[in-house]
Amino acid sequence: MQALIDRIKQEGKVFPGNIIKVDSFINHQVDPELMLAMGKDFHAKYQDQAIEKILTIETSGIAVAVTTALQFQVPMVFAKKSEAASMDKNQYQAKVYSYTRGKTFEIRVAKDYLKAGERVLIIDDFLANGEALSGLISLCEQAGAEVAGIGIAIEKTFQPGGEKIRQAGYPIYSQARIKAFEGDTILFEEN
């Protein structure tokens, strides 16, 4: 998606450890017009998939998940993160390891909001090692919901998450695919 790629080129900041920060328009300050355009782009990609629910994870996925849900006219659910384990029979839970933070946390969705047979579009801002995305897929599987599509804003294709999850048979569409960093320069996959 060219508008997102252009914005990343203009404002994305590269940090050691293959980290890219997009705090000025996605992760801290948010550009609502860009979020709307991204929501429309996800809708264009998955509009024939009879999507019934958008699933994301707090916090940074929420903005684009809302604009995407607006296009599909379906509810959005955000999984909640917690560092503490809990046993609540009313929730689906999955463990997610965060490479950024170097620890494992739990993500949860109330059973009321993810149902058997529901066709779910998972939306998230980043895909790198695929830990959070695998956790969201696990929540859907526990519910018996169907992952009808996955929409990612920024994928780092040189990290293994996308490959692993595509090989497991899940369709992933990423709007901007970063293949490498060369110093401060961000290189994108051709298309």
d(CA 142, CA 79): 14
**Contact flag: residue 14 with a copy of itself (CB under 8 A):** no
User: Distances in Å between the alpha carbon of 53 and those of 19, 80, 82?
Assistant: 30, 16, 23
- Number of residues near a copy of itself (by CB under 8 A): 30
User: Distances in Å between the alpha carbon of 77 and those of 33, 43, 57?
Assistant: 21, 17, 8
**Contact flag: residue 58 with a copy of itself (CB under 8 A):** yes
Site stretch for a copy of itself (CB under 8 A), options 54-62, 94-102, 152-160, 168-176: 54-62
**Contact flag: residue 113 with a copy of itself (CB under 8 A):** yes
**Contact flag: residue 59 with a copy of itself (CB under 8 A):** yes
Residue 111: other Cβ atoms inside 10 A: 14
> Mask of contacts with a copy of itself, 121-160, x by CB under 8 A?
----------------------------------------
Q: Which residues, in sequence order, are CB contacts of 110 under 8 Å at separation 6+?
A: 90, 91
Residues that bind a copy of itself (CB under 8 A): 23-25, 28-33, 35-36, 58-59, 62-63, 66-67, 69-70, 73-78, 80, 109-110, 112-113
